[in-house]
Every structure is written in C-alpha cells, then in structure tokens.
Amino acid sequence: MPINRIAIGTPGEASHPDALKAALAEFFSMLIFVFAGEGSGMAFNKLTDSGSSTPAGLVAAALAHGFALFVAVSVGANISGGHVNPAVTFGAFIGGHITLLRGILYWIAQLLGSVVACLLLKFSTGGLETSAFSLSSGVSVWNALVFEIVMTFGLVYTVYATAVDPKKGNLGIIAPIAIGFIVGANILAGGAFDGASMNPAVSFGPAVVSWSWANHWVYWAGPLIGAAIAAIIYDHIFIDSTHEQLPTTDY
C-alpha cells in the first residue's frame, strides 16, 4: 500500500534551495491559474451586470479554468511538478511521491498565490467582488461534498495516470493538457451545483478576500478525500508494487 511509503522529510528540507524554488514555482503557477479562472467569472459578472448564471457563462468558466490550468501546470512541471492544487499535493503525499515537509511548503505557496491573485483582481477591477464558492439553490452540503469527492478523484486519477505512473512513457507529454481538460469537463458537470472547485486553494483565495466562509469546509474535505482515494487506488492497483518509490518534487 502507498501508505507505507509516506515520508516526513528531513529538518533541512524546508530551507533547501530546491524546495524553496519549487514552492515559489507553485506560488506563481497558482497566481496565474486563479487570476485567469476567477477573473473570467468577474468579467462575466461585469458584462451581465451580475445577472443570473447562464450556460454560456458556465462554458466560459470551464474554458478559462481548463486553459489556465494547462499553462500553470506546464510552467511549473520542471520545477515543482506543477501541482497547482493542495489536493494534488496531498494525493502525491499519500502515494509517497512527496514528503510532508515539502508538501507543507507547497500548500503555503499555493494558498498565498490564490490570495494574492484575488487581491490583484480586486484592485485591478476597481473593487469588484471576488465571489467565494457557494452552493446553488437546492444543493445540500452533502450533495456538494460528493460532487467534490468524485470530481477531484477524476482529477487526481488523471494526474497519476499521465504524470506519476512510471509506465506512462510518451503519455507524460500530454499530462498538462489532460489535467486541464478534466478540470474543464468537471466544471461543465458540477459548476452549476457547487462551483466545481476541486482545489482548496482556488476556494481559499476568494473566501479570504471577500471574507465569506459559508460551507467552506466542503471545498477542503471533498477534494482531499477524493485525492486520497484516487492516490490509493491508482498507486496500489496500477503502479507496479516492486517499482521503487522515493519522494520527489514531481507530483
């Protein structure tokens, strides 16, 4: 089981130049992703005078997030592994592919990147609201929790299949676009119900800047549970158990 490969890391790892550079890469990748993704929603609200959500708005959100994540993962891949998501980092930790200390550095960088992106958006748009994720009418927290678990499972399963699996071969070349595609597709599926976060950092930045925390726990619990399930299933069933797994900066 991958749980046997979980590693805490060494005390000096948190201050090692490579780890700090990787964390900085996560910060910038997250900033790029959230600025484009959250910004697309703010642009839609401005164009519609904060009108009701429409199918066109949902498609625009899916495209913006899919394209931005493709870029954000690509630019960080060679430095940090391009996680751009605390849930992906958690899945990598569960599978023994990153140490706890490096994972904490990633989480801090990812959360800060999201907050800074939202602050920049609020300033550059003249004070428009950075809307926090929320549940649609008729959607309970348990409905949303299942949505986030399943959608994040699909995301992290895709990460493992295209970026982590040592047998991936040339498939690794398309990892960033595959990851962007699954996020865009999941937004089309779940966006109308709970916003389709799949990413605690993406939910955290708008919540901090707008100071709106209603049902915020759903956007942490769901993605982390989904990521852990995907990591355990893929690592245990599909990755050769005899293959040596050492904590690395790559997922």
Q: Is 138 buried (19+), middle (13-18) or exposed (0-12) by CB count in 10 A? A: exposed
pLDDT greater than 90 at residue 242 = no
Give 34-56 pLDDT, tens digit per residue.
Answer: 999 999 999 998 988 877 678 98
Percent pLDDT > 70 in the chain is 93
Dihedral sign computed on CA atoms, order 19, 152, 165, 245: positive
pLDDT greater than 60 at residue 227 = yes
Percent pLDDT > 90 in the chain is 82
pLDDT of residue 231: 96
CA-based end-to-end distance of the chain: 17
**CATH number of the domain at 1-237, please?**
1.20.1080.10
- 9-18, 56-65, 173-182, 194-203, range with the lowest pLDDT: 9-18
Where do the structural domains in the chain lie, given as residue ranges? 1-237
Please state the pTM of the whole predicted model: 0.92
